[in-house]
Every structure is written in structure tokens, then in C-alpha cells.
Amino acid sequence: MGMTARLVLILVLLLQAQAAEALMEPELCYVLDAILFLYGIVLTILYCRLKVQVQRASKDSSREGREQKGEHIYTGLSMENQEMYETLEPKSS
């Protein structure tokens, strides 16, 4: 039995059940409204999560770019050949 055949069979059984007849039109609307409300909440949460991840990724990439720019400032400078302090010789007058 294919997946669509099973789905159609389940749908037919649900429509013929007495519990479905007990649901009047307003109650059916309330159930559908609740499903749509939960669907909206789930989509909103997923959207906000995706937006936060994109913002974090852009902050990380911009931070790396700034660090790389800062490294170019110090290119060519080294402390190996420089003396830290200059010795002072007393002047003879």
C-alpha cells in the first residue's frame, strides 16, 4: 500500500467516525485556529533563531576582518634589534 493510499484511508476513517460528527462547525474552527496558532509560533521561533545565527556569523566575520587589519599595522616592527633603554653618559664640563 502506498503512502498516499494510507493517508486517504485514514482520512476517510476519520471523516466517518462519530466523534467527527460530534464536532460542530464552531468547535472545528477552534481546533483549526489552535493548529494554525501553534504553527505560527513554531515558524516565528525558527525565524528568530535563524536571524540570530546570521547576526552572530556576521559579527564573527567582521571581528576577524578587524583583527586582520590590525595585524597589518605592526608589520615590520620587531623588538629584537631595539634596545629598551638608552644609557646616559654624564657630561664632562
92's grid cell: 664632562
Residues with Cβ within 8 Å of residue 14, at least 6 apart in sequence: 20
Question: What's the whole-number average pLDDT of the chain?
Answer: 77
- Tell me which DSSP letter residue 79 carries: S
63's grid cell: 571581528
> Which residue is listed with cell 571581528?
63
Asked if residue 23 lies in contact with residue 31, where contact means CB atoms within 8 angstroms, the answer is: yes
pLDDT at residue 49, rounded to an integer: 96
Q: Poorest-confidence range of 11-20, 55-64, 65-74?
A: 65-74
Q: Report whether pLDDT(47) > 90.
A: yes
Query: Band of the pLDDT at 70, cuts 50, 70, 90?
Result: low
